[in-house]
């Protein structure tokens, strides 16, 4: 709660802040100051479900994914997102941040993640694209 209160004090500019990996990479002049999070990775996947848009099955998939994946300890800032650019034909996105490659590897071997991929992702997702970002 403390963090949110602080963010509120910063006003809208801070509240809508996006990638903070690292926070000080916003400009070239600041980039050199930061080394703390040079290894952080934002992992995203954009996808289309086999379910009808607006269906209960769609809502359940997104809700279960949030519940299952967000509680994996190395997963930070898990987000369920709508993909709204009309020049892109993916409908949804998940986004999460890993502190470093080791945390990402831990996620890739996590049993809850692996079970989700086998039991839900492979059955309910029609197509997808993974995207991993590191600050340049």
Which residues make up the interface to a second copy (CB under 8 A)?
Answer: 3-4, 6-7, 10, 12-28, 36-37, 40-43, 46, 62-63, 66-67, 70, 76-85, 87-88, 90, 92-93, 95-99, 129-136
- Beta bridge pairs of residue 39: none
Residue closer to a second copy (CB basis): 50 or 134? 134
* Burial (CB count within 10 angstroms: exposed 0-12, middle 13-18, buried 19+), residue 103: buried
Residue closer to a second copy (CB basis): 79 or 123? 79
Residue closer to a second copy (CB basis): 24 or 110? 24
Report the nearest approach of a second copy to the CB of residue 110 (Å).
18
11: left (phi over 0), alpha (psi -120 to 50) or beta: left
Any idea how long the chain is? 136
Report the nearest approach of a second copy to the CB of residue 115 (Å).
20
Report the nearest approach of a second copy to the CB of residue 135 (Å).
6
Query: What tokens does 60 get?
Result: 């359940």
Residue closer to a second copy (CB basis): 42 or 72? 42
Report the nearest approach of a second copy to the CB of residue 122 (Å).
15
Peptide bond into 22 cis (omega under 30): yes
Closest CA to 132 of 20, 71, 46: 46
């Amino acid at each position: 709660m403390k963090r949110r209160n602080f963010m509120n004090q910063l006003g809208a500019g801070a509240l809508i802040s996006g990638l903070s990996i690292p926070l000080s990479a916003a400009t070239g002049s600041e980039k050199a100051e930061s080394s703390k999070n040079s290894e952080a990775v934002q992992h995203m996947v954009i996808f289309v479900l086999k379910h009808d848009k607006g269906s209960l099955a769609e809502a359940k998939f997104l809700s279960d994914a949030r519940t299952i994946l967000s509680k994996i300890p190395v997963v930070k800032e898990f987000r369920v997102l709508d993909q709204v650019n009309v020049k892109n034909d993916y409908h949804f996105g998940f986004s999460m941040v890993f502190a470093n490659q080791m945390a990402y590897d831990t996620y890739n071997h996590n049993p809850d993640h692996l079970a989700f991929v086998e039991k839900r992702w492979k059955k309910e997702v029609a197509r997808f694209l993974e995207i991993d970002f590191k600050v340049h």
